Amino acid sequence: MQEIEAKKQLKASEGAHFFYTLIFLSASGIIETQFIEEKCNQNLQLFVHLVFYGLIIWGTYILITLIPRYKNAAINLFFNFLDICFGIYILLLLFYGGRMYQSPNDCLTEAPALFFFLETFLLVNGIIFAILFLAFVSYVLKRFSKSQQVYDENKEEFYDA
């Protein structure tokens, strides 16, 4: 029995994960090579290191799962678990970066490249998590609403389904 086969096409979420990883990995790689020596009263270097090395691991995962399709349910369950772990990791980085951003600092003048990366990371991931949160709330409300209303075109009114 063959456990792996080629994917016919990529899902939209897989393409989004790929480009998200590519963009932030490139940006953090440039900062790692050119601007990591900038210092301020916050430890932005640690934040950039966490993003960079986390995205290297995530990029490896994406390359492993992008092309083949796995038929084994246990492998798919494990990959779904890794997706959730990465989401939690990015959420924790978002909280850590937000805490550094909110605390008084001189990073805007002393380490502008690192601070700009922090702001961009917070903005992009904040929007992503806000959209995911709204989608989750919408799902919960739709799933647990007491009745579903359906529009009857003949009578031009709503009725319970």
What's the pLDDT tens digit per position in 98-110? 999 999 989 889 9
CA–CA gap between residue 66 and residue 57 (Å, rounded): 14
Query: Which position has the higher pLDDT, 74 or 123?
Result: 123
pLDDT of residue 157: 65
Triad 109, 112, 113: Cα angle to 5°: 165
pLDDT of residue 16: 85
Q: How confident is the model at residue 136 (pLDDT cuts 50, 70, 90)?
A: very high
Q: Which residues, in sequence order, are CB contacts of 117 under 8 Å at separation 6+?
A: 27, 28, 31, 44, 48, 51
Residue 29 structure tokens: 């790689």
pLDDT of residue 113: 92
Query: Which position has the higher pLDDT, 71 or 135?
Result: 135
Query: Which position has the higher pLDDT, 147 or 113?
Result: 113
CA–CA gap between residue 18 and residue 123 (Å, rounded): 19
- Give the count of beta carbons closer than 10 Å to the beta carbon of residue 107: 22
Q: Contact, 18 vs 66, CB < 8 A?
A: yes
Q: Which residues, in sequence order, are CB contacts of 141 under 8 Å at separation 6+?
A: none
- Give the count of beta carbons closer than 10 Å to the beta carbon of residue 93: 17
pTM as predicted: 0.79
